[in-house]
């Protein structure tokens, strides 16, 4: 997967034309523009913008969700899609690529630390493809750029829409470049289609940029949609990495809860690829106080019969015995408890003895570090805080886990979160083995 990344980066850079040595670029003959024109409508510190980035004969869809602490960019071109996320609270950047493994899409997340010399004004380091937010008056760290401004230079019709034109010239310090940009903003006095009174929209931004080494580029953003101050929940979804994507070494900003009750039950379904793609259903009961656990398993006949088979296993930790009962043939067997069902742990210093594990151990919460990925919808009208973790197993197998704790029901925040769902997946050499959901 890492070998794929340079290829995709080169492809995305190919969408920007390099025009070194041309004489037709208009630079800042009067120096930088350091204050906005009175006719310019201020861009708020939260917005979403959907654009078409055009350079020569190439085009690429580019969307940005922006806040003063985080921003995200999604690009789509004929070469594929790449997602970028910047978090200036944890100083991390994430890049999500998708590969096809066994005819299934598998996202891979690459993490980079944002340091003092990181180039965060551009979509990719070592390029001159600057973010829309930089063109709209914000600096490389998503703060207001006090040295940015523009000047009203007249009116012009653009695609049949009357517009006000603005010109801006400013420096971008992290890439040591100068930008000359022309903005086309709908004239609020002449164009109101679907807009509130005195409201205007950004239609197009023409960009010319040159760095200190003399490299020059030109491109334009055709704006499809511009949404100032978007809905908070929609904004959060746009700024957070997608559901189910694990980013190694990510800084977790919220600890996974550990207050699982001593007595808990759960229902699960599992899709087992290696068992003829069968579905297994289970009901589990764990009671730490009474040192007792039970699992009921329903599964299809492995020989293709019409009946579902039912199997029960009971662990009595007071006696150390395990009881297995096959409901189909009415056969019961008794054995010593082992650690196969994850409810038992070996006693310290006594490798031949086992005892009941804690609820955190039963639910696989004590053997890896989980990372908080945000808030996602997990049930109808239910939103959950989500934590993700992965564990390496033998034979090039990776176990992927997701914990969902309810945080909001019917739009009402919960004072006490509670577990709603757990996803357990395994991959061998990137190929799915099972998918278990509790």
Does residue 15 surpass a pLDDT of 50?
no
Q: Which residues, listed in sequence order, are joined to residue 418 by a DSSP beta bridge?
A: 406
Q: What is the pLDDT of residues 163-182, one digit of tens each?
A: 999 999 999 999 999 999 99
Task: List the beta bridge partners of residue 270.
Answer: 280, 436
Least confident span in 124-128, 177-181, 194-198, 237-241? 194-198
Q: Are 261 and 359 in contact (CB under 8 A)?
A: yes
In three-state form (DSSP H/G/I as H, E/B as E, the rest C), the secondary structure along the chain is: CCCHHHHHHHHHHCCCEECCCCCCCCCCCCCCCCCCCCCCCCCCCCEEEEEEEEECCEEEEEEEEECCCEEEEEEEECCEEEEEEEECCCCEEEEEEEEEECCEEEEEEEEEECCCCCCCCECCCCCCCECHHHHCCECCCCCECCCCCCEEEEEEEECCEEEEEEEEEEEEHHHCEEEEEEEEEECCCCCCCCCCCCCCCEEEEEEEEEECCCCEEEEEEEEEEEEECCCHHHHHHHHCCCCCCCCCCCCCCCCCCCCCCCEEEEEEEEEECCCCCEEEEEEEEEECCCCEEEEEEEEECCCCCCCEEEEEEEEECCCCEEEEEECCCCEEEEEECCHHHCCEEEECCEEEEEEECCHHHHCCCCCCCCEEEEEEEEECCEEEEEEEEEEEECCCEEEEEEEEEEEEECCEEEEEEEEEEEEEEEEECCEEEEEEEC
Spatial CB neighbours of 91, under 8 Å, sequence gap ≥ 6: 113, 114, 115
Q: Averaged over 283-296, what is the pLDDT?
A: 93
pLDDT at 274 over 70: no
Q: Is the pLDDT of residue 6 over 60?
A: no
pLDDT of residue 150: 95
Tens of pLDDT, residue by residue over 340-356, are 888 889 898 888 889 99
Ranges 65-74, 92-101, 212-221: which has the least confidence = 92-101
The confidence score (pLDDT) of residue 317 equals 94
pLDDT tier at 57, thresholds 50, 70, 90: confident
pLDDT at 238 over 60: yes
Please report the pLDDT score of residue 416 as a whole number. 93
Q: Are strands 80-87 and 92-101 parallel, antiparallel or unpaired?
A: antiparallel
Encoded tokens for 381: 């009208």
- For the residues 229-242, what does the mean pLDDT come to? 93
According to the model, what pLDDT value does residue 167 have?
A: 96
Segment 55-75 mean pLDDT = 95
Gap between the Cα atoms of 120 and 86, Å rounded: 8
Per-residue model confidence (pLDDT) at position 429: 84
Mean pLDDT of 286-296: 93
Q: Which two tokens stand for residue 252?
A: 């977790």
Q: Which residue has the higher pLDDT, 10 or 195?
A: 195
- Could you tell me which CATH class the domain 8-16+24-230 is placed in? mainly beta
Q: Residue 195: what pLDDT? A: 59
Does residue 14 register a pLDDT over 80? no
Q: Is the pLDDT of residue 374 over 70?
A: yes
The pLDDT assigned to 176 comes to 94
- How high is the pLDDT of residue 3? 45
> Looking at residue 13, what is its pLDDT?
46
- For residue 333, count other CB atoms closer than 10 A to its CB: 10
pLDDT tens digits for range 177-217: 999 999 999 888 887 666 566 678 899 999 999 999 989 99
- Residue 276 has what pLDDT? 66
pLDDT in the model for residue 27: 66
d(CA 1, CA 248): 14
- Binning pLDDT at 50, 70 and 90, where does residue 275 land? low
Model confidence pTM above 0.75: yes
C-alpha span between 300 and 309 (Å, rounded): 6
pLDDT confidence of residue 11: 45
- Domain boundaries, given as residue ranges, for the chain: 8-16+24-230
In angstroms, the Cα distances linking 372 to 85, 129, 412 are 15, 31, 21
Identify whether the C-beta of residue 322 lies closer than 8 Å to the C-beta of residue 301: no
> Where is mean pLDDT largest: 5-19, 120-134, 179-193?
120-134
The burial of 24, by beta-carbon neighbours within 10 Å (0-12 exposed, 13-18 middle, 19 or more buried), is given as exposed
Residue in 62, 30, 67, 32 with CA at minimum distance from that of residue 49: 62
Q: Per-residue confidence at 155, pLDDT binned at 50, 70, 90?
A: very high
Question: In whole angstroms, what is the distance from residue 342 CA to residue 365 CA?
Answer: 11
Percentage of the chain modeled with pLDDT above 90: 63
Q: Are the CB atoms for 298 and 279 separated by under 8 Å? A: no
Q: What pLDDT is stored for residue 149 in this prediction?
A: 95
Whether 223 shows a pLDDT value over 80: the answer reads: yes
Q: What is the pLDDT of the chain when averaged over all its residues? A: 88
Q: Provide the pLDDT for residue 26.
A: 52
pLDDT of residue 7: 44
């Amino acid at each position: 997967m890492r070998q794929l990344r340079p290829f995709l980066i080169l492809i995305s850079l190919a969408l920007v034309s390099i025009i070194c040595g041309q004489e037709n670029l208009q630079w800042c003959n009067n120096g930088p523009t350091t204050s906005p024109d009175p006719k310019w409508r201020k861009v708020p510190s939260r917005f979403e913008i959907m654009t078409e980035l055009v350079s020569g004969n190439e085009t690429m869809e580019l969307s940005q969700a922006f806040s003063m602490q985080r921003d995200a960019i999604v690009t789509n071109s004929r070469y594929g899609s790449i997602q970028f996320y910047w978090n200036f609270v944890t100083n991390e950047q994430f890049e999500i690529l998708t590969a096809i493994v066994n005819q299934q899409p598998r996202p891979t997340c690459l993490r980079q630390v944002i340091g003092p010399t990181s180039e965060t004004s551009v979509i990719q380091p070592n390029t001159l493809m600057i973010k829309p937010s930089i063109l709209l008056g914000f600096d490389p760290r998503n703060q207001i750029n006090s040295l940015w401004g523009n000047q009203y230079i007249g009116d012009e019709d653009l695609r049949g829409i009357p517009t006000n034109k603005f010109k801006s010239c400013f420096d971008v310090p992290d890439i040591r470049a100068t930008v000359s940009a022309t903005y086309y903003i709908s004239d609020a006095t002449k164009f109101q289609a679907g807009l509130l009174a005195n409201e205007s929209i950004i239609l197009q931004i023409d960009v010319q940029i040159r760095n200190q080494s003399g490299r020059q580029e030109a491109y334009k953003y055709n704006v499809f949609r511009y949404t100032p101050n978007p809905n908070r929940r929609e904004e959060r979804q746009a700024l957070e990495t997608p559901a189910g994507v694990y980013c190694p070494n990510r800084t977790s900003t919220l600890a996974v809860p550990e207050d699982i009750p001593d007595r808990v039950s759960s229902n699960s379904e599992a899709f087992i690829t290696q068992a003829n793609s069968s579905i297994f259903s289970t009901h589990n009961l764990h009671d730490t106080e009474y040192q007792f656990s039970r699992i009921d398993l329903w599964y299809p006949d492995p020989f293709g019969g019409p009946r579902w088979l039912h199997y029960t296993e009971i662990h009595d930790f007071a006696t150390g015995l395990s009881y297995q009962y096959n409901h189909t043939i009415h056969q019961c067997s008794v054995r010593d408890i082992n650690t196969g069902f994850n409810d038992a742990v070996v006693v310290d210093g006594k490798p031949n003895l086992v005892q009941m594990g804690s609820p955190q151990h039963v639910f696989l919460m004590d053997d890896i570090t989980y990372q908080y990925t945000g808030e996602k919808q997990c049930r109808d009208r239910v939103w959950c805080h989500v934590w993700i973790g992965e564990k390496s197993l033998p034979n090039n197998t990776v176990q992927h886990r997701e914990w969902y704790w309810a945080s909001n029901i019917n739009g009402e925040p919960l004072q006490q979160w509670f577990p709603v769902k757990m996803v357990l997946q395994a991959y061998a050499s990137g190929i799915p083995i099972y998918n278990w959901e509790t």
